[in-house]
Amino acid sequence: MNGAQAIVEMLKAYRVRYIFGLPGDTSISFYAALADARADLTHILVREERSAGYMADAYARVSGRVGVCEAPSGAGATYLAPGIAEAHATSIPVIAITTDTPLRGENKNVLTAFDQSALFAPITKARFQIKRADKIPETIRRAFRLATTGRPGAIHLSVPQDVLDEASRADIYAEDDCQTFPAYRTRADADAIIRAADLLLRAERPIIVAGGGVVTSGAWRELTALTETLAAPVATTITGKGSMDETHPLSIGVIGGNGGRTYANQMLADADVIFYIGANTDSVTTINWTLPAPASGKTIIQSDVDPVEIGNNYPLGAGLVGDAKLVLADLLDAITRATGARALSARQKQMMDDGAAVWWDEFRQQAAERALPLKPQQIVAALTEILPENSIVVADAGTPTPHIAAYFRSRAGRRVIIPRGYGGLGYALPAAMGAKLARPDATVVALMGDGSFGMVATEFETLRRLGLPITVVQFSNAAFGWIKKLQQLHGTPFYQSDFSADTDHAAIVRGFGVAGIKMDRPHDLAEVLHDAVRASAPNFIDVPSADEVAAMPPMPQWRKARPD
């Protein structure tokens, strides 16, 4: 076999079902090998390489397997970078394969040649240029091992064109434990577990903050058990949605500066012990490290699979390096042996009950309005009402993010996907396709703005070609609303943040063969959504909605900066 065939055989050995990408001059041999293997390995053709990265990212999140994408040399590799950056920043295992110009033309100014490894260096966990076909199997094994172990992440493989054509005689086999993630889970130090358990048991007002690491680890049962034993409220980061069923009485929802619930932030500010698990205490979660302030005197416990994150932003009472599922199980065991059932403190219960009542009453009032343009709360309320339990909601950065984070109550598991690594617009549509391929039985809804539409519209052709029954809901406000609101808060003119309101997005989508409608009667929203999510074909709903200037999103720091 040649190098291209060796790559395909290795992907088959790792039971890769889909590879996402787009062909180019340097990938002809690779595509010939993919064509020969089409019965076992399905190639998903995208219309732009960035979408391949986003599809692989979401596919990995939902399937629990490594996402694989590919692109040709030159512009193809550069277009793939945003999707790989997003996956890596949110600790999702994706392997990106880029074909490259021949080694024999190195340093000769071959068209499309450049240093691919340098491009991917800041946005991947590891990079390998394969210079001999015999090295392909062992390099791919290393790539899967690195992608799935420790802190999962993205791996880049660069394969020159002449290596694809070269004969390969290496052994083809997979490392079975690294087909899924997290692989080779690690436990935290036993003494550190005892210290953390003691701090939590002595706390009067403990709070747990669960991040994306809990979801990736599949640790929602362990988290729920620990929470109930400690009687400690659970808040989450945006990527941590799904760490615990948000209808649970001890769930207080998302905290922080983007989609954070007011009462959740207040309860965290009042806590005496904060346990961060699988959360990297970033600027959004902590509102630029003011919630809490490092000098607040609060006791901080932090657990993460990556030791680099432990104590990175706060002095710690205890640090736990290990897989979230194992850490939570060990903590639960230590706490159960040391104490009986505990009760939620009266102070926390009062804050939770009073704060939640005010929060949800305000939401219901906004969701009950029936006028165009619709407020985003109306759309979230309708989705909450009609979506079945097996649903997956994929939300773009921008308008959908804070509203889904704050108001959509996720069940446990990977039910909500929002790009929080770099927040690139245009994520939701291709990611929803990746999610649907990973879980065909799920109802999948993509939420995007009309700003995103201009960046990803061609993928409606991909959606139609694949025939995936996905509902795309568009928040249309003819603006980059996030930027427009920031301009208002900074006291600057609205400049280059608005675009034409005359674009008929539904007609464009219909031109690609996808059913598209524009909402013109606010009372019909729930009925239209109900029919759409139960359709057997893809569909698009364009909803005129208020921008961030007209309807303040749940952004605590914005509300403090300047009222509506």
356 lies in some domain: no
* Residues 143, 57 share a domain: yes
Sheet strands side by side (includes 126-129):
42-45, 18-21, 67-71, 94-100, 154-160, 126-129
Identify which of 334, 308, 257, 327 has the alpha carbon closest to the alpha carbon of residue 125. 308
* Residues 517, 398 share a domain: yes
* Residues 523, 497 share a domain: yes
Q: Spell out the SS3 assignment of 185-233.
A: CCCCCHHHHHHHHHHHHHCCCEEEEECHHHHHHCCHHHHHHHHHHHCCC
Picking from 178, 205, 238, the residue at the C-terminal end of a domain is 178
* Residues 202, 113 share a domain: no
> pLDDT at position 547, please?
87
Return all residues near 236 (Cβ < 8 A) that are at least 6 apart.
209, 210, 211, 242, 243, 244, 253, 254, 255
389 lies in some domain: yes
* Residues 168, 64 share a domain: yes
Sheet strands side by side (includes 234-236):
251-254, 234-236, 206-210, 273-277, 299-304, 318-321
* Residues 420, 554 share a domain: yes
Q: What is the CATH number of the domain that holds 209?
A: 3.40.50.1220
* Residues 489, 417 share a domain: yes
* Residues 266, 168 share a domain: no
Picking from 350, 380, 398, the residue at the C-terminal end of a domain is 350
Picking from 301, 323, 350, the residue at the C-terminal end of a domain is 350
* Residues 511, 406 share a domain: yes
363 lies in some domain: no
SS3 293: coil
* Residues 120, 30 share a domain: yes
> pLDDT at position 392, please?
98
> pLDDT at position 557, please?
78
Query: For residue 91, what are the domain limits?
Result: 3-178
358 lies in some domain: no
How far is residue 381's CA from residue 45's CA, in Å, rounded to a whole number? 35
Q: What is the CATH number of the domain that holds 471?
A: 3.40.50.970
Q: How many domains does the chain have?
A: 3
Partnered with residue 98 across adjacent β-strands are: 71, 158
How far is residue 522's CA from residue 534's CA, in Å, rounded to a whole number? 20
> pLDDT at position 562, please?
54
458 lies in some domain: yes
* Residues 285, 402 share a domain: no
- Give pTM, 2 decimals: 0.96
* Residues 90, 228 share a domain: no
Backbone angles phi, psi at 51, to 5 degrees: -65, -30
221 lies in some domain: yes
> 10 Å Cβ neighbour count for 351?
19
361 lies in some domain: no
Identify which of 477, 475, 468 has the alpha carbon closest to the alpha carbon of residue 533. 468
Mean pLDDT for back-to-back runs of 10 residues, the chain (564 residues): 97 98 97 96 97 98 98 96 97 98 80 89 98 96 98 98 92 96 97 97 96 97 96 97 96 95 96 97 94 93 97 96 98 88 89 95 92 91 93 94 95 95 94 98 97 96 98 94 90 92 96 95 88 96 91 82 52
Give me the helices (H) in 238-392, please.
Answer: 262-270, 324-338, 346-367, 376-386
> pLDDT at position 340, please?
67
208 lies in some domain: yes
Identify which of 259, 246, 324, 323 has the alpha carbon closest to the alpha carbon of residue 287. 259
b or e along 443-468 (b: 16 or more beta carbons within 10 Å of the residue's beta carbon)? bbbbbbbbbbbebbbebbbbbbeeeb
